[in-house]
Chain A
Amino acid sequence: MNILVVVVVIAAVLLALVLLYNSLIGRRNEVDNAWSQIDVQLKRRLDLIPNLVETVKGYAAHEKATLDAVIQARNSAIGATSSPNAQAAADSAVTGALRQLFALSEAYPDLKANQSFVSLQEELSNTESRIAYARQFYGDAVLSYNTAIQKFPASLVASSFKFTQREYFEAEAAARTTPEVKF
């Protein structure tokens, strides 16, 4: 009789361990998935940029400085996927360069009326909302995962199987201040 009780208890503990481990795996995979979602949206934005630059060149080819800044920012953003914060830094450089570009387009009414320019502008702003949503989802996933590995008794399982905390996005110090648009 005693042996039966012991066996049942051991089986119950093992089952609990398995369930805890599996739930941590599930949450970690959600974090990874959320991360790649952001990547998808960022890539989409970067892919729109060459078209935009070509359209603007058609009307404002002499604005070399601004156009070059955009291309520059885009190229470095494509390479920067090491960590959430490196990616965010590269991305805000792109945002800054784009902002300058759209500001200068105010001075060219023909450009503003151009159909493809208008639709590219819309697509870009759309993509930017999606990037924000994807980051929000990533933050939620990280919260859920980090909380799960910190709670007891899952924390025991987490440390034995090397589940480490993931980092959140941090808005750059620059991004927290109101951006300046220089004409």
Chain B
Amino acid sequence: MNDLIASNKRRTFFLLTGFIVITCLVGMAVGVLIGNGATGTIVALVFSAVFAFGSYWKSDSVALTVSRAVPADPVEFRRLHNLVEGLCIASGLPKPRVFVIRDDAPNAFATGRNPKHAAIAVTTGLLEKMNRVELEGVVAHELSHIKNYDILVSTLAVTLVGTIALVTDITIRMMWWNGGRVSRGNDRRDSTNPLAFVGIALLILAPILAKIMQAAVSRRRETLADVSACKMTRYPPGLISALEKLQADSTVTHSASMATAHMWIEQPMSGVNDAGRLGMWHKLFNTHPPLAERIALLREI
């Protein structure tokens, strides 16, 4: 298990590095096309970072309000509280705030900028449909997100996506205004630069590429959370059984939206066609690996 965790963390690192490399390439492309590449990219990065980290700071309250979560009463939801407390002892985490969401679809999420300011929420549907070991597996998965600072990782990814989106958008608009002329520093001739075509192609593709990479990071972290959860409970069959139940259950979570999709344990959106398989296009943008894949990985531990 430990090497799975280590390899996951390495992959996240490489993905994020790749992200930064793409951002730099975009910056260079901007430089070729309209000049001031470096300044433009830095401004966009700062802007994006302020937005993303601002929302990261408040991520817990925003996520909870949007999902209409209410604090879980310690008497009514005693089993849930006991499970959370026990797993926190096992993992050395401080106990997060526990919330419930009145929704029939089984699902759960975790949020908060670091373990001290964290919160987890589960739906009443999940509490009804899962038995003790399965619930334990799901809670362990959510606590693993908190322990692995996944909110921070996804904020980093979102910042980079935002930067790329801003830079490419502004550049394309500026080019439009310029009438398609390419600036080349001292060169005042209206010559076309072959690099410009590469630059334009990159500008158009970059936002899509960025989104795909963000989804890849998210999937990596989901797998990491699955494996960490098994390490926490020392009982993979619990989480496997929970995931199998989620696979069989087709109720759509109503309290979720596209914006919060990445935080839930299971993809709350549809996108599953009649045959029950996700279309290839959707696969690239999935925030979670397919349930079948997750179950197969856990069985091998």
Residues of A within 8 A of B (CB): 30, 34, 37, 41, 126, 129-130, 133-134, 136-137, 141
Contact = CB atoms under 8 A, between A and B. Distances in A.
Contacts of A136: 90, 234
Interface stretch (B16-24, B79-87, B145-153, B160-168): B79-87
A133 B87 contact: yes
A30 B92 CA distance: 9
A137 B91 contact: yes
Given A37-B89, A130-B86, A137-B91, 8 more contacts: A30-B92, A130-B89, A133-B89, A134-B89, A134-B90, A136-B90, A136-B234, A137-B90
A45 B91 CA distance: 21
Interface residues of B, number: 9
Contacts of B85: 130
Contacts of A134: 89-90
B278 to A, nearest CB: 36
The 9 A-B residue pairs with the shortest CB-CB distance, nearest first, are A133-B90, A133-B89, A133-B86, A136-B90, A129-B86, A134-B89, A137-B90, A130-B86, A126-B82
A129 B85 CA distance: 10
A154 B143 CA distance: 31
A34 B90 CA distance: 10
User: How would you classify the secondary structure of chain B's contact residues: helix, strand, loop or mixed?
Assistant: helix
Which of B89, B91, B92 has the most chain A CB atoms inside 10 A of its CB?
A: B89
A153 B90 CA distance: 30
B89 A137 contact: yes
Interface in B118-168: none
B81 to A, nearest CB: 10
Interface in B83-118: 85-87, 89-92
Nearest to A126: B82
Contacts of B86: 126, 129-130, 133
A37 to B, nearest CB: 6
Interface in B230-251: 234
B268 to A, nearest CB: 30
Nearest to B85: A130
Contacts of B90: 133-134, 136-137
18 contacts: A30-B92, A34-B92, A37-B89, A126-B86, A129-B82, A129-B86, A130-B85, A130-B86, A130-B89, A133-B86, A133-B87, A133-B89, A133-B90, A134-B89, A136-B90, A137-B90, A137-B91, A141-B92
A129 B281 CA distance: 45
Looking at A30, A37, A137, the one whose CB has the most chain B CB atoms below 10 A away is A137
A41 B91 CA distance: 15
A34 B87 CA distance: 14
A133 B83 CA distance: 11
A130 B91 CA distance: 12
Nearest to B136: A129
A126 B92 CA distance: 18
Contacts of B87: 133
A126 B89 CA distance: 13
Nearest to B234: A136
Contacts of B91: 137
B115 to A, nearest CB: 15
B4 to A, nearest CB: 16
A34 B89 CA distance: 9
A14 to B, nearest CB: 29
Nearest to B87: A133
Among B82, B85, B90, the one with the most A-chain Cβ atoms within 10 Å of its Cβ is: B90
A137 B234 contact: no
Contacts of B89: 37, 41, 130, 133-134, 137
Interface string B59-96: 00000000000000000000000100111011110000
A41 to B, nearest CB: 8
A145 to B, nearest CB: 13
**Which among A41, A126, A129, A134 has the greatest number of chain B C-beta atoms within 10 A?**
A129
Contacts of B234: 136
A133 B86 CA distance: 6
